[in-house]
Structure 1
Amino acid sequence: MVTLRRRLAMNLLYLRALLRRFRTTALMAVLLFGCMPLVYRWRHVGADGHAVSLGKALRHVYFLLYGQPSLDVDDSLLMFLDMVIPPVGIAVLVDGVVRFAYLFFARHRQDKEWFEVIAETFKGHVVVCGAGRVGYRVVVQLRSLGKDVVVVEKREEAAFVAVLRDEQVPLLIDDIRSPQCLPRTNVKKAAAIVCATDDDLANLNIALDARRMNPDIRVVIRLFDDDLVAKVRDTFKAEALSSSSLAAPAMALAALDPRIVHSFRIGTHLMVVSVFEARSGLPGLTISEVRDRFGGLTLSMRRGGKGDEWLHPSGDTRIQAGDMVTLQAEYKDYKQLRAFTMEPEAPVYAHHGEG
């Protein structure tokens, strides 16, 4: 959710980026409306023999932009300016003002120039390539952590394009492999890039291009080919993740034990997260005793199964009957803890050689 304060800050950053981009237009405006009237006041003499007022000189310059001079000049320099100001003013100033107004007041439009200006306001942001299910969840997680995110997606009809636009996430519809695409994301000032498209080759190309433009950028690559993961990590010094390797442990353990809410690997160790309702065995033990006896790290507790969840309870906290305790442990330790609590034994996870 974008707060009012953050939205105001973004608007100011966006305005500053626009002014920086249109500095030529600003300089032309100063030259035309600041300097030119002074030249006319200096050189032009009216029928009464007096110099023209500054206000009339300014009005003359203004109407020259529309080809409607208000002064009848006979000075050679002023006649030259009368011929030069209209085309120069229209070509540079008027065009710049129209484009500036368009970009500032039509920011809801998802064109490439709008996206590029928005990206210029960011520094230390994360570029997410791919607006599919994985890419969208990455964006949601990053934004919940307070990180600025820009998204690139090749297809207008991708699953979460409309959702991202509704949430006011800067989104570029473009082929990520085109030479102009990554520079538009301001990748040179980005902290990280997440390559989450459904094409392994495209993800590798994105990673190489991003590292070439920004040698210090952190690269995270989603790969479908498990054989490429280790090679990419070693060769590109990037964090390569395989969807199948991440999902396999969770799916296997979910099939064996529905009480396991999450699983992951740390080296060769299979770790699980599960929720225990303290009925038998656990009541009377402290958090430290559960850790020392069973290797179970208590992540959270809900007293009596009600109320707010209490994260990271202290080691001397004593578990009471009815408490809901979320524990993290290695799978074999988890099975021992289930046996201790006198719950039905979980089936053996034979694939990992544990019984």
Structure 2
Amino acid sequence: MPRKHSHPRATRRHRWRHVQASIRDTSILLKEFRSPLLWFSVAIIGGGMLYDFLSRLVNEPVYSLAESIYIVLTSTFLQPPNREFPHHIALQLFHFFMPIVGIIVLAQGLADFGSLLFNRKARNKEWEMAVASTLNKHIILVGLGHLGYRVALKLHEMGETLAIIELNSNADTINEARELGIPVIHDDATRPSVLEAANIGRARAIIMASQNDAMNLQIALKARSLNPKIQVVVRIFDDEFAHALQEQFGFIALSATEMAAPVFAAAAAGVDVTNPISIEGQLLSLARLTISEQAAFANRTIGFVEDNYHLNVVLLRHDHQSEMHPTDKSPLRPGDVIAVLGGPEQLQLLLHDNGQ
């Protein structure tokens, strides 16, 4: 079983994304309610100017235009005036008329704004989109079925930033994914606007994990058109069709015989990994990786990697020199390239400890 890792840095990123999402969500709400706010401002400022003009006309002047605006504003919210109640009927009418203006123009808008601002669960879709809009160099997962959920878990374990699009609102996995802090957008990923809501322009990879080959291909093509540089990993049940997609479009197309979730996760993370082969019921893949400075096995040996990760290192490349089947005592340095053969779980753990 792979070891579990905590990601305090990922937790901090998650909290910061929620702060950013709150700011963005509030700004969107302010834009939606800009008309009531604009008309209210016009009514208060215009009313203040008219009050100032009338007060001078009837010989009950106030000290300044600012005070006139303040008087109108306090009257709107039924606050007592900070000076003697005016004697002239024209000025008195302001204290009775402005509360009506406030109720008509602003009260309903403020009530709706407050309800939507503090009850984001009622606007779940908009909130998830706001969170997704803060992501950068993330992975988009389309489909949260059995395979999709396992892929999401693997990517989460690898510390990857993830956004999910799922059409079926009754999927039990949606709440479980959200509990991990992953934004889940309930919508149709075949619509370009939905992909844009998941911030596809700044995503580095997208995985299509639904059971519909035609829909997976449709989404893959739209994703590539919206972001030509995005890495596309698509689930295709037909082996020949999968290989044809790889050759024609450069997609990483994994067929029904290659449905291991860690393979999908590794492919989306940008790792050079082959399609798995089954040997006596065990899936094995060959992966190539460059040892990073942060790797847990940097400055260790081949034997350390093989003993602790339960896989085989079949090639070591150092300083432009390749060594096939290196010995257990061969050192591993940052910048070296190794090719390893192992099961999906073992490869996923090795890649995680390499910072991928």
Contact 1:125/1:191 (CA < 8 Å) preserved in 2?
yes
**Partner Cα separation in structure 1 for residue 31 and residue 313 of structure 2:** 62
Shift of 1:91: 6.2
* Equivalent in 101, 105, 111 of residue 118 of structure 2: 101
Residue 61, structure 1, aligned to residue 76, structure 2: yes
CA apart distance, 1:226? 0.5
Q: Which residue of 1 aligns with 2:17?
A: 10
Structure 1 residues 30 and 199: alpha-carbon distance in aligned structure 2, compared to 1, 3 A threshold: closer
> How much does 1:174 deviate?
2.8
Percent of aligned positions that are identical: 23
Identify if the C-alpha distance between structure 1 residues 326 and 149 changes in structure 2 by more than 3 Å, giving closer, same or farther.
closer
Instruction: Write out aligned runs for 1:198-347 (5 A).
Output: 198-245=211-258, 252-255=278-281, 263-265=284-286, 311=297, 314-315=300-301, 326-328=310-312
Which TM-score applies when normalising by structure 2? 0.60
Aligned to 1:129: 142
For structure 1, the residue ranges without an aligned partner over 5 or more in a row are 65-69, 272-298, 300-309, 338-355
1:115 and 1:184 in contact (8 A); partners too: no
* TM-score, normalised via structure 1 length: 0.60
Alignment partner of 1:89 out of 99, 106, 114:
106
Q: Secondary structure of 1:22's partner?
A: helix
**1:184-195 correspondence runs (5 A):** 184-195=197-208
Instruction: State the aligned residue count.
Output: 276
Distance verdict in 2 for CA 1:42–1:133, change over 3 Å: same
Offset at residue 204 of structure 1 (A): 0.4
Shift of 1:149: 1.1
Q: Using the TM superposition, give the Cα deviation of residue 318 of structure 1 relative to its aligned residue in structure 2, in angstroms.
A: 8.6
C-alpha distance after superposition, 1:282-311 (max 9, x if no partner): xxxxxxxxxxxxxxxxx9xxxxxxxxxx84
Where structure 2 has 5 or more consecutive residues not aligned to the other structure, the ranges are: 1-5, 80-84, 261-274, 315-323, 329-356
* Aligned-residue RMSD, C-alpha: 4.5
**Deviation of the 1:137 alpha carbon:** 2.5
Secondary structure at 1:112's aligned position in 2? helix
| Letter matched to residue 191 of structure 1 | R
Q: 1:139 aligns with which of 152, 176, 181?
A: 152
- Aligned CA distance change for structure 1 residues 235 and 60 (closer, same or farther; 3 Å): farther
2:26 to 8, 16, 19: 19
Is 2:68 the counterpart of 1:50? no
1:146–1:33 distance in 2 versus 1, CA, 3 Å: farther
Aligned to 1:340: none
C-alpha spacing 1:327/1:205, structure 2 compared with 1 (3 Å): closer
Contact 2:139 2:206 in 1 (8 A): yes
Where 1:13 maps in the other structure, the secondary structure is helix
Structure number with bigger Rg? 1
